[in-house]
């Protein structure tokens, strides 16, 4: 029998403890906001010592036909009842010390700042599918907003001038409502040309103001630009790379994309697309979404106030103390 007990304690018990998952004691705090307050616990500890070690517990007075408790059991229960107010005061001191616990680390989606740069020159009114090139572009942009929920979007229109219609924001309602207002048919005369270089540099300036997140420009145009010639394309690409900005271009025309735009996108880590119909245009935005995936950031666990379990325990002891006054107390009779 003795050998059997030894085998159980030496072999079986450790394996059971290893396989069992002990519950986490989540009510223990990690630290305190005001740890110096805990020094006041010395006073209730002295009070508890006095209750459990005092020699006299009242003056018994003999009264005929009366019953009263006596003995060690009665003394223990009465001492416990008298200890509850002091225990409540200890919990109050504990709460005043400000117990805190570490919250669970959370994951946060890193924001990508995406600036749409849309051409509204006269050529954008050309037929493309069931509508114009402008209509197809804005419809595809609105669909792209659904792919990238949580990112910050901005919208700029350009011709020979640049108009920043919507600042970078996670609220996409302004972009969704913008197509009727800046149609090429309604644009002022000075938007008639195509100055892609000016538009890219202006969008770059906006993205430089964003301190957090990745930066990306999506250029939608159907023409070439004279302000990209003479090495300006390489200079613009270099300035974008310095700010960590990728440029993606959608050349929404029957011709091939200009070589300058191809250079800018390749040098900044982006790509140029040449969709032939509205369905291909929608696929282009899906490809851009797959190429520029959002990163997940791990946030640091925050310190959280941890009062609730102690408050419940204090209320419980307070209720016990109140009930004990109906019978569990020392009296002189």
CATH number assigned to the domain comprising residue 290: 3.40.50.410
When computed from its CA atoms, the radius of gyration of the chain, rounded to whole angstroms, is: 38
Q: CA 57 → CA 28, 43, 51, 218, 278, distances in Å?
A: 36, 21, 9, 86, 93
The predicted pLDDT at position 185 comes to 87
Q: What is the rounded CA–CA span in Å between residue 95 and residue 321? A: 19
Q: Is residue 91 part of a domain?
A: yes
Q: How many domains does the chain have?
A: 2
Residues 85, 181 within the same domain: no
Tokens 């609730």 locate to 308
Burial class of 138 by CB neighbour count within 10 A (0 to 12, 13 to 18, 19+): buried
The predicted pLDDT at position 16 comes to 37
Residues 286, 314 within the same domain: no
Residues 205, 250 within the same domain: yes
Q: How many of the other CB atoms lie within 10 Å of CB of 6?
A: 10
Q: Is residue 136 part of a domain?
A: yes
Contacts of 232 (CB under 8 A, 6+ apart): 197, 260
Q: Is residue 21 part of a domain?
A: no
User: 288: domain range?
Assistant: 108-294
The predicted pLDDT at position 263 comes to 93
Residues 118, 239 within the same domain: yes
Residues 59, 154 within the same domain: no
Contacts of 227 (CB under 8 A, 6+ apart): 195, 196, 197, 198
The predicted pLDDT at position 235 comes to 94
- Per-residue pLDDT 10s for the chain (333 aa) are 444 334 433 444 344 334 433 344 455 666 788 888 889 888 888 888 888 887 655 555 555 555 555 567 777 777 888 888 888 888 888 888 888 887 666 555 566 888 999 999 888 988 888 889 998 889 888 888 877 777 889 999 998 889 999 988 888 888 888 888 888 888 888 777 889 999 999 999 999 887 777 889 999 998 888 889 888 999 999 999 999 899 999 988 888 888 999 999 999 988 888 887 777 777 777 777 675 555 555 556 577 788 888 888 888 988 888 888 777 665 554
The predicted pLDDT at position 10 comes to 45
Residues 134, 215 within the same domain: yes
């Amino acid at each position: 029998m003795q050998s059997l007990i030894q085998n159980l304690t030496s072999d079986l018990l450790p394996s059971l403890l290893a396989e069992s998952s002990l519950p986490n004691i989540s009510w223990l705090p990690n630290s305190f906001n005001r740890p110096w307050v805990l020094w006041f616990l010395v006073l209730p500890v002295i009070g508890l010592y006095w209750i459990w070690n005092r020699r006299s517990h009242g003056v018994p007075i003999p009264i005929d036909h009366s019953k009263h408790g006596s003995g060690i059991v009665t003394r223990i229960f009465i001492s416990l009842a008298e200890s509850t107010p002091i225990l409540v005061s200890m919990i109050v001191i504990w709460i005043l010390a400000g117990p805190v616990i570490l919250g669970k680390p959370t994951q946060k989606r890193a924001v990508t700042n995406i600036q749409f740069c849309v051409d509204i020159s006269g050529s954008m009114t050309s037929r493309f599918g069931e509508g114009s090139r402008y209509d197809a572009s804005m419809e595809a942009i609105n669909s792209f907003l659904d792919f990238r929920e949580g990112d910050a979007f901005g919208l700029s229109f350009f011709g020979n001038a640049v108009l920043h219609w919507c600042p970078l924001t996670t609220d996409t309602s302004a972009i969704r409502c913008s197509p009727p207002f800046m149609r090429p048919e309604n644009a002022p005369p000075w938007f008639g040309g195509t100055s892609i270089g000016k538009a890219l540099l202006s969008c770059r300036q906006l993205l430089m103001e964003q301190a957090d997140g990745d930066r990306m420009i999506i250029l939608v145009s159907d023409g070439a630009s004279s302000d990209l010639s003479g090495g300006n394309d390489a200079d613009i690409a270099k300035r974008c790379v310095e700010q960590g900005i990728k440029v993606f271009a959608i050349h929404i025309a029957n011709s091939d994309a200009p070589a300058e735009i191809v250079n800018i996108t390749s040098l900044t880590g982006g790509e140029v697309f040449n969709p032939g119909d509205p369905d291909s245009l929608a696929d282009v935005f899906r490809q851009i979404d797959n190429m520029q995936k959002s990163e997940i950031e791990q946030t640091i666990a925050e310190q959280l106030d941890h009062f609730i379990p102690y408050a419940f325990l204090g209320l419980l002891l307070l209720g016990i103390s109140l009930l004990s006054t109906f019978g569990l107390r020392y009296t002189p009779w």
